[in-house]
Amino acid sequence: MSFEPRIVAFLCNWCSYGAADMAGTSRIQYPPNVRVIRFMCSGRIDPNFVLEAFLRGADGVMMTGCHIGDCHYIDGNYKTANRYEFLKHYLDILGIGADRLQLEWCSAAEGLKFAQSVTAFTERIRALGPNPLKEGGK
């Protein structure tokens, strides 16, 4: 059976969730591998959530938020950006690999961008293969 990646996406309620909704109203198609978890702000994305997802077998994790400067809670996404850098290091150390984590900013008008980033990320994970922590993973 071909490998279908499992992807978890954490979205902030305002811009990025709006973008995902708009991809829907515009009927822009993207691969069905992603499952969305909504928070109020990308600042809420606890590193533990990301690790939890990987430990439970997610093949890739996306963190998305409003563009820098657009965060509805002033600067939550700056903190997300820092955390992203730190998490990437950590994932390398754990042997999961930094490229399985992706940070994306999407405005509420960027349905297309959302769909494109999900597509590109899914392809990337497909090429990387399954999460190495899983049985059958490399």
Partner 1 sequence: MIKTAAVVGAGVSGMQAALSLADRGVKVFLIENTSSIGGIMARLDKTMPTLDCSICILSPFMLAVARNPMIEIMTLCDVVGAIKTEHGYNLEVLKRPRYVDLEKCTGCRDCMAKCPGKVIMPFEENFGRIKAIRFDFDQAIPAVPYIDKDACLYFSKGICGNCVKFCQKGAIDFEQQEETLNLEVGGVFLATGSRPYLPFDKTEYGYGRYKNVITAMELERLLSASGPTSGHVIRLNDKKEPKKIAFINCVGSRDLRTNRGYCSKVCCMYGIKEALLVKDHDPEARVTIFYIDIRASGKGYEEFYQRAKNSIRFIRGRPGELLELDNGDLLLRYEDTESQQPMEEVFDMVVLNSALVPSEGSEQLAKMFGIPLNEYGFFDAGGDPASPISTDNDKVFIIGACQGPNDITDCVSQSIGAVAKTYSIYGDVVERESKELPGTDKENPRVGVFVCHCGKNIGKYVNMDEIVEYAKTLPDVVYVEDSLFTCSESGQKSIKEKIQELDLNRVVVAACSPKTHENTFQEALVEAGLNPYMLEMANIRNQCTWVHSDCENESTEKSKDLIRMAVSKARLLDPLFEREVDVRQSCVVIGGGVSGMASAVELSRSGFEVSLIEREDHLGGKSYVTDPKYREIAKHLIDSVTSDENIRLYLSSQIVHVDGFVGNFDLTLDTPNGEVNANAGTFIIATGYDFADPSVDGYVIGGPVIAEEELVRMMDEERLAGKDFTFILCAGVRNKAHPECSRVCCISALRQIKRIQDTVPDANITVLYQDIRAYGYYEDIYRQVSENGARFIRYSPDSLPSIDANSKSVGVYDTTSSRTLKIGFDLCILERGAIPSRGTNELRQLFKASAAPTGFFAEAHLKLAPLDTAIDGVFIAGACQYPKTVEESLSQAISSAGRAGIIMGSGKYKVQPTTASIDEAKCVACGLCEKLCPYKALKMSEDGKHMEVIEVSCKGCGTCAAFCPSNAISMKGFTYQQEKEKIKALLRGVAK
Contact residues for partner 1, defined by CB under 8 A: 6, 8, 13-15, 17-18, 20-32, 35-41, 43-49, 52-53, 55-58, 66-67, 69-70, 72-76, 79, 83, 107-113, 115, 131, 133-136
- Show the beta-strand stretches assigned E in the chain: 7-12, 34-39, 60-65, 101-105
Which distant-in-sequence residues (6+ apart) come within 8 Å of 110 by Cβ?
19, 22
Q: Which of 38, 42, 40, 114 lies closest to 78, judged by CA?
A: 42
Q: Select the binding partner of residue 65 from partner 1, ligand FES, none (C-beta < 5 to 8 A, by kind).
A: ligand FES
Task: Mark the segment that binds ligand FES (CB under 6 A) among 21-29, 36-44, 49-57, 88-96.
Answer: 36-44
Helix (H) or strand (E) holding 73: none
Q: Is 15 in the site for ligand FES (CB under 6 A)?
A: yes
Dihedral pair phi/psi, residue 30, rounded to 5°: -150, 165
Task: Mark the segment that binds ligand FES (CB under 6 A) among 46-54, 63-71, 85-93, 106-114.
Answer: 63-71
Q: Is 103 in the site for ligand FES (CB under 6 A)?
A: no
Rounded distance between C-alpha atoms, residue 40 and residue 65, angstroms: 10
Nearer to ligand FES, 34 or 66 (CB): 66
